[in-house]
Structure 1
Amino acid sequence: MSGWRGNPWAVLLTLSLGFFMTLLDLTAVNVAIPSMMGSLHASLDEVLWVINVYILVLAALLIMFGRLGDVRGPRAMFIGGVALFTVASVLCGLSQDPAQLIAARAVQGLGAAALMPQTMTIIIGTFPAERRGVALGVWGAVAGVATIAGPTLGGLLVSTAGWRWIFFVNVPIGAIVLLMAVRLVPDIRQGNRRKLDVVGVVLAAMTLVCLTFALTEGQRYDWGVGIWALLGGAALLLGLFLIHQRARQHDEPLLPFVLFRDRDYAVMSFVAATVQVGMLGLFLPVMIYLQSVLHFSALTAGLVMAPAMVVSAVLSPVSGRMADRIGGKYVLMTGLTLFACGMAWLTWVTDVGRAWWEFQPALIMSGVGIGCVFGPMVTVAMYNVEPAMAGAASGVLNTIRQVGTVFGSAAVGAVLQNRLAVSLQDEAAERAAGLPADVRGPFLAGFRDAARSGQEAGVGQNGAAIQLPRGTPTGLARHIEQAAASTYEHGVVHAMRPTLVLPVVVIAVGAVSCFLVRRRQSTSPRTSPEPVDLGTPV
C-alpha cells in the first residue's frame, strides 16, 4: 500500500470514504426515527434533537476546524476527525436514553466537523489544476449518493440488526479509513499559520443554537414569548456576526465577503442551502409516514427510496459531464425543477392505505432531479474562483450547505410538529363523536395534550397516551384503539402535506435563482497550475 502513497486517486478514495461516512448518518438516522422513539421512549422533539445536534455542531465548527487544519495540517486533522467520529459512533449505539444519544451525536458532529473541511483542502493540494474539476465532481457525487443511500442502508440495518447498528456500522468503515489515511494520504501543508477568529466562531454557534432551539421546541412551548425572543436573538447575533466579519475582512475572516463578488458563487451558495432544506424536508416526514402510518418495516421504507437512489447515483456523473458541455446553469435548473415537481407529486399521492409502488413515479422524478444537482452545483460555484481562494470558497460553501441543513431540519420539524398537533386534535374531535360520552373526554385529552408532552410518532404508537376508565369492556377498548389509530394515521397525512409544501417552495425558489448564473464564456475553468495556498481556511 505504501507504493500508492500520494497517488491522487487513492487519496480521493480515502477522503471520499470518510466524507461518505459522515454524510450517510445525516439521512440514515431518519429511517430509524420511529424505532428509536419506541426503544428509547423519546418524543418527536427529542428525536429531532438527535438529528439537529449533529448538524448544528457540524455547521458551527466547520470553518474553525478548517483553520485548525492550517495549523496542525489537514492530514492530521482528518485522521483525528475520523477517529473521534468512530468512537462517537460506538457511544451512539450504546446509548440508553435520549439524553445520552443526543450527547453522543454532538461528539459525532465534532468529529465530522474536524474531518470534512480537510477533504477539500487535500483534494485541491493533491490534484493538478487540469484534473481538479473531475475530482471535485466525484466529491460532489459522493455527497448526493450518501444522502440518498442513507435511508436504504439504514432501513436494512434497522430491520435486520436494530437501530443501534446504523451507528455501529461506522466502526469498520472508520477503521478502514484510518488505515488508508495513515498509509496513503500525504502531509501537504505548507506551514502557514493562520489566526483563529474565536469571536466569530462563538457568534456563529450561538446564532445557530438559538435558531435551532426555537424551531425545534417552539411547539412544546406554544410559540410563546421565550421562543420568539430566541428567534429575535438569533437575528441579532447574525447581525453582530456579519458586522464582526466585515471588520475583519483584511484580517483573515471566517466569511470572506470577496467570494460573494462572484455572482455565480453567491447564487450557488444560496442554491446549496435550498437543496439541503429540500433533502431534509423529503426524508424526515416521509420516513415517519411510511413506518408509522403505512406500517412498513424500516427495510421496506428504505427500499421504497432505493430506485431514486439508483437513478441519482447513475445520473450524478452524467450530469457533471453535461454541465461541462452545455453549462451547469441549465442542468441545475432542470434538476431543481424536477426535484420540486417530484416532491409536489409526492405530496399529492400521500394518503392512508397507499402501496409502495404508488410513490415510485414521484420519488424517481425527485431522484432524477437530485442526480442533476450536486456535481454541477459545485462546478458552477468553483468555476471562477481563483486557486488561492479555493480553500476558503469550498469551506464557506460547505458551511452554508450545513447551515441549510440545520435550518431545513429545524424548520421542517417545526412545521411537522405544529401541523401534527392541530391535525390530531381535529381528527380526534371528528372520531370522538362516535364514542360513548364517558370516554370522549379521555380520548380528546390524550391528543390535546400530545403537543405539550411531546408527540409520539414511533412504530406502533398512536400519537397520544389515552387513559381509559376502569372496567372499559374489551370490545369498546378495541373500538377506541381503532379510533385512535385512525386519528393518528389521518392526522399524520394531513400534517405531512403542508409540511412538504415548505421544501417544495424553497427548492422552486432555488431553481428560479439559477437564472442569475452567468453563461460560461470559456471551456476551461479559471485555474492555474500554480500551487494552491493550502493555508487558506476551508
Structure 2
Amino acid sequence: MSASAAGRSAAPIPEPRAWRALAALCVGLFITLLDQSLVAVSLPRIREDLDASINQVVWVSAAYLLTFAVPLLVTGRLGDRFGQRNVYLVGMAIFTAAAFACSMAPTIEWLIALRAVQGLGGSLINPQPLSIIHRIFAHDRRGAATGVWSAVASSAGLFGPVLGGVLVGTGGWRWVFFVYIPLGLISLVMVARYVPKLPTGARRIDVLSAVVSLVAVTGVIFSLQQGPDVGWTVWVWVVLGIGIVAFGVFVRLQRTAVARGTEALAPLGLFTRRNFTLGVTAVATLGFTVYSVNLPIMLYLQVGQGLSAQVAGLMLVPMGVISVIMAPLIGRVTDRVAPGRISRIGFSAMIAAMLSFGVAMHLEATVGWLLIPIVLLGFANSLCWAPNSTIALRDLPGDLVGAGSGVYNTARQVGAVLGAAALGAVMQMGEGTLGFGAAMGNAVLLPVVFLLVGLVAVSRFRESSTVIGATGA
C-alpha cells in the first residue's frame, strides 16, 4: 500500500462524510469571525439609538473580544473532556440565543452584558473545529481541509463590512444580530447530523489551573486592550503585572499536574513537539500583523488619500478574494510538499507587503500604488494561515488535539491584541511628530520585526513530529 493510500485509510470516518462535517463546521466559523467586522459597522447607529457614550460603544466590541479570547485555553480542553462536537453545539446554542437577546436589548448596558455572553459562546465554538478536522481527516488530507477552513475565514473578513452596511442601512443595527439566528440554527442542525461523536481524552479538568489561566489571560488581554485608551496609568500596569505573575503560576501548575493527581490544562508535553511549538510562535506573529494592519491602511486611504469609507473598503476586496480563491489550493499543496516550504514563501511575501505599504505611505503614494501591497498581502495570507495550522496540529495525538487547539488559538488572539495596542501606540506617537503618511507607514512597518521571528520559526518545521527532550506533563 502506498503512503498516500495508507494515510487515507487512517481516516476514522469516510471522506465524503468528513467533508460534509467540515461544511457544517464552516458555518459556525463564518458567523463567529464575521462578528467583529459586522458589529463594528453598526456601532455609530447603536450609539445614536441607545444614547450611549463612546466608551460604552467601544465596550460593545470589547466585551465580546474579552470573553471570546480569555477562556480559549479552557474551552479547548473542554472539547477533549466532553467531546468537541458536544462543546461546539453548546457554544453555538449560547451564541445564537445571545444574538437573539442582543437584537432585543433595551439599553446599552444590557447590550454589553449580552455581548459578553455571546463572546463566551464563540469561545466554546472556536477551538473545536480545528480539533475535529485533525481527527476526522486522514493525515494526508488535513492540509486540504484546513485550506477550505482558511478560505471561509478569509471570506468572513471580506463580507463582514459589506453585509453590515446593507443590514444597518436597510433594517437598522438590530438586524446585525438577528441575522445570526438562522445561520446559528443551520449550524446546529448540520453539526448534529454530520459531525461524528469522537472518543474523549482528558478525564478531568484541573479547576485550579483553569482559574489561574483565566486570571493570566484576562490580565494580559485587558491591560493591552485598555492601556492605549487610558494612557497606560498605574492600575493598567498593575493588571498587566498580575496577568504575567499568574501566567508563571499557571506554567508551574502544568508542570506539577501529575503530582497533584490531575491532568494538565495545557500539557507541557505539547511544547516538546517541535512543529507545534514553532507553529504557535508563528501564529502569534500572524495575529499581531493581520488583525492590526487594517486600521492604519484604512486610515491612510480615508484620511491620507481622501477616499470615502465605501471606496476604501472596496480597495481591500482584492486581498480577500485572492485569499478565498488561493487558500483551498494551497491547503492541498501543503499535504504534498515538505513542511515549511510554502510557509517560508508566505511569510516572506507578508514581510514584502508590509515593507511596500510602509514605503508607499512614507512617500504618500497615490491609491493605485497601494494595490500592489494589497494584492501581495492577499497571496501572503493564503500561503501562511492554512499551512501553519496544518503543520502545527496534524501530528498531535488525539487526546491532546483539543488542548493544542486552545493554546494555538490563544496565541493568535493574544498576538492580535498585542498588535492592535502596539500599532495604536505607534500611530499616536507618530501623528504628533511626523506627517500623517509617515505615521501610518511606521505603524505598518512595526510588524516586520515580528514576522521575521515567524519566518525563522516556520523555516525550522520538520517532516515528522519531532519530540524535543522529555514528554513533559
TM-score (norm: length of structure 1):
0.73
The one-letter code matched in structure 2 to 1:230 is V
Alignment of 1:228 with 2:172, yes or no, is no
Instruction: Find the residue that maps to 1:338 and give its secondary structure.
Output: helix
The one-letter code matched in structure 1 to 2:220 is L
Q: 1:496 aligns with which of 434, 440, 456?
A: 440
Q: 2:287 aligns with which of 276, 299, 307?
A: 276
- 1:117 CA displacement: 2.7
Moved more, 111-120 or 161-170: 161-170
Q: 2:204 aligns with which of 180, 191, 195?
A: 195
Do the aligned partners of residues 166 and 33 (structure 1) sit closer, same or farther apart at CA in structure 2, a change above 3 Å counting? same
How far apart in 2 are the matches of 1:67 and 1:324? 27
Do the aligned partners of residues 241 and 374 (structure 1) sit closer, same or farther apart at CA in structure 2, a change above 3 Å counting? same
The one-letter code matched in structure 1 to 2:265 is L
Instruction: Find the residue that maps to 1:252 and give its secondary structure.
Output: coil
- 1:167 CA displacement: 3.2
How far apart in 1 are the matches of 2:178 and 2:443? 32
Do the aligned partners of residues 294 and 83 (structure 1) sit closer, same or farther apart at CA in structure 2, a change above 3 Å counting? farther
Count of matched residue positions in the alignment of Structure 1 and Structure 2: 451
State the percentage of identical aligned residues: 36
Alignment of 1:303 with 2:247, yes or no, is no
Contact persistence 1:249–1:256 (CA under 8 A): no
Q: Partner of 2:89 in structure 1? A: 79
How far apart in 1 are the matches of 2:88 and 2:210? 20
Q: Partner of 1:514 in structure 2? A: 458
Contact persistence 1:93–1:165 (CA under 8 A): yes
Do the aligned partners of residues 74 and 221 (structure 1) sit closer, same or farther apart at CA in structure 2, a change above 3 Å counting? closer
Contact persistence 1:62–1:399 (CA under 8 A): yes
Listed one character per residue, the Cα deviations across residues 48-107 of structure 1 (whole Å, up to 9, x for unaligned) are 544443233222222323343455443332222112212323344455766444333321
Listed one character per residue, the Cα deviations across residues 373-401 of structure 1 (whole Å, up to 9, x for unaligned) are 11110222134434443333333222322
Alignment of 1:406 with 2:414, yes or no, is no
How far apart in 1 are the matches of 2:74 and 2:302? 38
Contact persistence 1:156–1:302 (CA under 8 A): no
Q: Partner of 1:146 in structure 2? A: 156
Do the aligned partners of residues 180 and 373 (structure 1) sit closer, same or farther apart at CA in structure 2, a change above 3 Å counting? same
Do the aligned partners of residues 268 and 74 (structure 1) sit closer, same or farther apart at CA in structure 2, a change above 3 Å counting? closer
TM-score (norm: length of structure 2):
0.82
Contact persistence 2:150–2:328 (CA under 8 A): no
Contact persistence 1:60–1:201 (CA under 8 A): no
How far apart in 1 are the matches of 2:45 and 2:369? 24
Contact persistence 1:329–1:515 (CA under 8 A): yes
Do the aligned partners of residues 239 and 63 (structure 1) sit closer, same or farther apart at CA in structure 2, a change above 3 Å counting? closer
Alignment of 1:333 with 2:335, yes or no, is no
Listed one character per residue, the Cα deviations across residues 407-461 of structure 1 (whole Å, up to 9, x for unaligned) are 3334444544x437x62xx69xxxxxxxxxxxxxxxxxxxxxxxxxxxxxxxxxx
Alignment of 1:18 with 2:28, yes or no, is yes
Q: Partner of 2:6 in structure 1? A: none
Contact persistence 1:37–1:44 (CA under 8 A): yes
Q: 1:109 aligns with which of 119, 122, 130?
A: 119
Contact persistence 1:328–1:379 (CA under 8 A): no
Q: Partner of 1:245 in structure 2? A: 254
Contact persistence 1:274–1:404 (CA under 8 A): yes
Instruction: Find the residue that maps to 1:248 and give its secondary structure.
Output: coil
How far apart in 2 are the matches of 1:233 and 1:25? 30
How far apart in 2 are the matches of 1:395 and 1:379? 15
Q: Partner of 2:146 in structure 1? A: 136
How far apart in 2 are the matches of 1:314 and 1:215? 34
Q: 2:332 aligns with which of 309, 313, 321?
A: 321
How far apart in 2 are the matches of 1:42 and 1:296? 28
- 1:368 CA displacement: 0.8
- 1:203 CA displacement: 1.9
Do the aligned partners of residues 352 and 110 (structure 1) sit closer, same or farther apart at CA in structure 2, a change above 3 Å counting? farther
Instruction: Find the residue that maps to 1:325 and give its secondary structure.
Output: coil
Q: How does 1:110-509 map to 2 (within 5 A)?
A: 110-129=120-139, 131-158=141-168, 164-186=174-196, 188-190=197-199, 194-248=203-257, 251-290=262-301, 296-350=307-361, 357-416=368-427, 418-419=428-429, 423=432, 493=437, 495-509=439-453
Do the aligned partners of residues 265 and 94 (structure 1) sit closer, same or farther apart at CA in structure 2, a change above 3 Å counting? same
Listed one character per residue, the Cα deviations across residues 213-246 of structure 1 (whole Å, up to 9, x for unaligned) are 3333334543332222222222212111111221
Contact persistence 1:89–1:108 (CA under 8 A): yes
Structure 1 unaligned blocks of 5 or more: 428-489, 527-538
Structure 2 unaligned blocks of 5 or more: 1-13, 467-473
Listed one character per residue, the Cα deviations across residues 345-366 of structure 1 (whole Å, up to 9, x for unaligned) are 2233348998654432111111
The one-letter code matched in structure 2 to 1:307 is P
How far apart in 1 are the matches of 2:293 and 2:362? 16
How far apart in 1 are the matches of 2:225 and 2:393? 34
Do the aligned partners of residues 48 and 500 (structure 1) sit closer, same or farther apart at CA in structure 2, a change above 3 Å counting? farther
The one-letter code matched in structure 2 to 1:138 is V
- Output the aligned Cα RMSD: 3.5
Do the aligned partners of residues 337 and 93 (structure 1) sit closer, same or farther apart at CA in structure 2, a change above 3 Å counting? farther
How far apart in 1 are the matches of 2:51 and 2:143? 47
Listed one character per residue, the Cα deviations across residues 439-498 of structure 1 (whole Å, up to 9, x for unaligned) are xxxxxxxxxxxxxxxxxxxxxxxxxxxxxxxxxxxxxxxxxxxxxxxxxxx76x554333
Q: Partner of 2:69 in structure 1? A: 59
How far apart in 2 are the matches of 1:95 and 1:300? 32
How far apart in 2 are the matches of 1:185 and 1:323? 24
The one-letter code matched in structure 1 to 2:312 is A
Contact persistence 2:76–2:404 (CA under 8 A): no
The one-letter code matched in structure 1 to 2:226 is E
How far apart in 1 are the matches of 2:178 and 2:362? 34
Contact persistence 1:59–1:406 (CA under 8 A): no
How far apart in 2 are the matches of 1:384 and 1:261? 12
The one-letter code matched in structure 1 to 2:445 is V
Q: Partner of 1:475 in structure 2? A: none
- 1:254 CA displacement: 1.4
Do the aligned partners of residues 312 and 94 (structure 1) sit closer, same or farther apart at CA in structure 2, a change above 3 Å counting? same
